[in-house]
Amino acid sequence: MHTRSMFEFAARRELPVVLLIDDDLVSREVTATLLTMTGYSVHTAESGAASLKMLAGGDFQPGAILMDAQMPGLSGTDLIAELRAHTKAPIYAISGSEVPAEIADAADGFLLKPFDAEALHSLLDGQPSDADLKLLDPNEPVVSEEILSQFRKLMPEPAVRQIYTAVVSDLTRRIEALGAAIARGDTAEVRRIGHAIKGGCGMAGALQAAHLGALLESTPSVAKDNQLDNSAAVLHDLRAAARGLERMLDAELHA
């Protein structure tokens, strides 16, 4: 009954072709089975180098990529960078433990092993399209000029830079935790992280990040429909906001 309903859902819409990269045979086969049972077309690679060779061959174009976060050889952020040079498909890290912040920031999402078919399907089906990513207003200033000006009147430039360096560091840490909470479906933790981002970034005048934190804080206690998918879209934009703060540091507050 449950299997039939999954196939019926798959038949109603076109599901993305998935490229699965994992050096562990058992993990790779189990994940591929979960995907195919849910209606996805799956191509597997046992290493980062093998995945790039497949993409270069042009036999298929993936709609999504799942990659183990820790593999021998080409892996992590280096692999993500190489994959992005070959495809525009969203890239999701999968791992049996929390991934380093740089991988979480570089990827488009994260799933903690072991995960079930529902979590995997929610991750893949919930990826927003470029047209849907309107949560981050590109015209909104990264930092409030008024608050930045107040800081500069109260303290020397190195101290101001230290404040925003701490904001970026804290935001990066919370982005990593947020990705894990979304993967678990932990709406209470999503709201808690959103509240912390809204408060901390709001005090520092980091307008974009504070706005996105408020959106996360409003996540209902029981997720329905695509509400956690919306949180995943906020996560995507939070990474962009963090990069904007880093660029502001380099441009406005030299070391």
For residue 221, what pLDDT is reported?
Answer: 56
With a cut of 50, list the residues of the chain below it in pLDDT.
Answer: 1-13, 127-134, 222-226
Domain ranges for the chain: 2-125, 145-252
Tokens of 4: 């039939």
Instruction: Kindly tell me the sign of the dihedral angle through the C-alpha atoms of 101, 124, 178, 86.
Output: positive
For residue 119, what pLDDT is reported?
Answer: 72
Q: Which homologous superfamily is 2-125 in?
A: Response regulator (3.40.50.2300)
For 217-241, write each residue's pLDDT tens digit: 877 654 444 455 567 778 878 888 8
For residue 193, what pLDDT is reported?
Answer: 93
Tokens 């980062």 correspond to 48
Helices (H), the chain: 2-12, 25-37, 48-57, 76-86, 101-106, 117-125, 145-154, 157-184, 187-204, 207-217, 227-252
Tokens of 60: 């298929």
Residue 88: Cβ-neighbour burial (10 angstroms; 0-12, 13-18, 19+): exposed
d(CA 203, CA 207): 9
For residue 240, what pLDDT is reported?
Answer: 84
For residue 128, what pLDDT is reported?
Answer: 43
For residue 247, what pLDDT is reported?
Answer: 86
Q: Is 249:169 a contact under the CB 8 Å cutoff?
A: no
For residue 136, what pLDDT is reported?
Answer: 63
For residue 116, what pLDDT is reported?
Answer: 67
For residue 188, what pLDDT is reported?
Answer: 87
Could you check whether 2-125 and 145-252 share the same CATH topology? Answer: no
For residue 9, what pLDDT is reported?
Answer: 38
CA geometry: angle 186, 187, 188, nearest 5 deg: 95
CA geometry: angle 44, 47, 52, nearest 5 deg: 80
pTM equals: 0.49
Q: What is the CATH number of domain 145-252?
A: 1.20.120.160
Tokens of 78: 């280096």
Tokens of 36: 């195919």
For residue 4, what pLDDT is reported?
Answer: 37
For residue 21, what pLDDT is reported?
Answer: 93
For 116-142, write each residue's pLDDT tens digit: 667 777 777 654 433 333 456 667 788
